[in-house]
Structures are given as structure tokens and as C-alpha cells.
A and B are shown apart, each in its own frame.
Chain A
Amino acid sequence: MEETEVFERVVKILTPWVKNDEALTSVGMETSILDDLKVNSARLVDVVIAFEDDFDIEIADEDVDQVNTVGDAVNLISGKL
């Protein structure tokens, strides 16, 4: 799967949890999921489970510690496909 496709699907999955809709208009690989998109940190687990379901992968707890930006999520998922 192309990275751009993973990126688009990641952004689509994130969208329902995003509190800063404005940041979505300029979202990129460097966009911080918590600081820029204002996703509630307690809800990050739901986002990650949605990644698992959508991409049919399994993500370990420790992997989540590496995910700060949209790009981190894209790279994590791409590495598991």
C-alpha cells in the first residue's frame, strides 16, 4: 500500500476524534495528534484500535509510545502492512 493511501486513511480515522477542525485543513506528516489536532489523550487508545481494525494489523502498547505525529502513525502502520 502506498504511503499516501495510508496517510489518507489515517487522517480519515482520526477525524471523528479531532477537536481542532482547523488543523485538519493543513494536516501533514508533522502534525501532532495531541497538540495540533487536540485529540484527547485518553481516547488515543480508541484511535489505535480503529487503526487495527481498518488496516487489519495488531499494535502493541509500546508501539503507541512512538506515535506523536500523523507521520509516526503512518510509519507505524506501514511497517506492519
Chain B
Amino acid sequence: MGSGPSGSQPRSDRIGAGASGTPEARVDSGLAARHARQHVRQRRVSWLAAPLWIGVSALVMRFRFGYRIAQARSIRARYRAIRRQSDAPMLVCANHLTLIDSFLVAWALGSAFYWLRHFDELPWNTPESTNFARTPLSRMLIYVAKCIPITRGGAREGVGDVLERVKYLLGRGETALLFPEAGRSRSGRVEENAAAWGVGRIVGAVPRCRVLCVYLRGRRQETWGDYPARGDVMDVSINCIEPKSDARGVRRSRDLALQIVRELMRMEAEYFRARQ
């Protein structure tokens, strides 16, 4: 399973390895060679630098900001059990309250050592360009940290390009994390009417795609913000679903996205019930 620094051959370096007619090949078929080249190049750089950036990220979250994941062992064990159930592509979808949610979600699902051994399971992220890709340095850092920046509300072709790349990497057995609400929830709660259909578009286009819904919230996180409070403890719940829809076209994508957001809403309701 290991395909990281300790593995023999990075999976995504084997572009074109899927036999014609396989789900992977179908996902690949519509992808321009440019996407594949970009992906292989970035994955390789990220993989080579993984011991540094994954380790530093974990250390900074734990010791610089004092964050903790409540019941991290059981969450990670549950995640590994879900992974063992199937080798189908997996998209991770989480609620979104702070700028560093993607790091927190990854940290909740696995330790730094786990991600180094299972590098392709470590989700790719699609951070908002205006938040994370403003300077050459920040662009370099997010490039190394498995990020594909997206401009929310930008040119449709640019957004479509990123979605195509996410479909591609899922089809190759890698993982991506998307926030189905697109941005941080301004109400501090998961909002059904904020569901971004792009998530559904990906799920609908990747055969057998599973969605790992992750609800993560700091105990002192009253509403949205840039960072969780220093020393905050994160409660995390995870649940794997397989959204299905008989609708077609854009309607299907919206339907699938809504199923994901409603699952996150259900998890959120459970979270607040448990806290009462």
C-alpha cells in the first residue's frame, strides 16, 4: 500500500498504466496531456519534500499552536478501517471554518508517519488563490504541499481545469480534499444553500467514487475565522458515503453535492446534540 518515500514506485508516476476500458482509463481519457505532466511533476516535488513539510506542519500545529485532535487514535483507526473496506477512489469532503482546515483534517486522519508511508492517501487540496497564492513564496509552498489553487468565482474554464485535475488524480488512486461549501461558512454552520456543485461534478464523473465526510470543529470555534484558537481541541467525526443520483447533467452534480452537504449537516447536528 505504501507509495510514499518508503514505497518503491510513486503510483501517479505510472501515467497511462490503466488498461483501456478501466474506470481509471475512462477518467484519464478526457484529460489533456498537460494535466498529466503537471501532476506528475508536482507530485514528485511534493513527495521528495514530504519528510520536511509534513513533519514541520504537524510539529507547528501541535507545539506552536498547541492544537490537539480529540480521540485521535480512534479517528485514525476508523479512517484506516474505511480505507481497507475498498480500493475505490475516495474524495474527502469537510466542513470549513478556518484557513487551516485542510491541515487539521489531514492531521486528524493520520499521523505524520502514516502520511509519509501512504503519501498518495494524503489529500490534495484546492485552496483559494487569493488567500494562499498571493506571493511567489506562498505559491511555492502550496505547490510543495500538494495544493492546486483555485480562484473561486473566477473564469469558468479555470475552475473546470482544476476540477478536471481532481478527477484525474482520484482516478489514479490518489485522494483530494474539497470543501463542498466552497468557502468558509459565514454562519459558522454547514449551509445547504452554499453547496458547490463542482464537488458533485467530480463524484459523478469518477466511477465508484466514495466520499469521506469529515466534520471538524474546535471546541472554542464559535464561528468562522482565520485560525482556531491557540490550544484548541478539535472534535472530529468521519463517515463514508457513496452518493448516487438518477438525474443527468448539471442537475445530477447538484444532487450529489447536496447529499454530501446534508451528510455534513447531519454530522454537525449530532456534534451539537452531543455537546448539550
Could you list which residues of chain A lie within 8 angstroms of chain B, going by C-beta atoms? 34, 40-42, 44-46, 48-49, 52, 58-62, 64-68
Contact = CB atoms under 8 A, between A and B. Distances in A.
Interface residues of B, number: 22
B152 A41 contact: yes
A10 B103 CA distance: 42
A42 B182 contact: yes
Given A45-B250, A48-B250, A64 B156 contact: yes
Contacts of B197: 42, 44-45
Interface of B: 152-157, 159-160, 182, 194-197, 201, 204-205, 248-251, 253-254
Q: Which 8 A-B pairs have the closest CB atoms?
A: A65-B160, A41-B153, A45-B197, A65-B156, A61-B201, A48-B250, A58-B249, A42-B196
Nearest to A66: B156
Looking at chain B's contact residues, the main secondary structure is helix
27 contacts: A34-B153, A41-B152, A42-B182, A42-B194, A42-B197, A44-B156, A44-B197, A46-B254, A48-B250, A49-B250, A49-B254, A52-B249, A52-B250, A52-B251, A58-B248, A58-B249, A59-B249, A60-B250, A61-B201, A61-B204, A61-B205, A64-B156, A64-B160, A65-B160, A66-B156, A67-B156, A68-B157
Contacts, number: 52
B250 A68 contact: no
Nearest to B182: A42
Contacts of A68: 155-157
A61 B254 CA distance: 10
B195 A42 contact: yes
B157 A61 contact: no
B253 A45 contact: yes
Contacts of A65: 156-157, 159-160
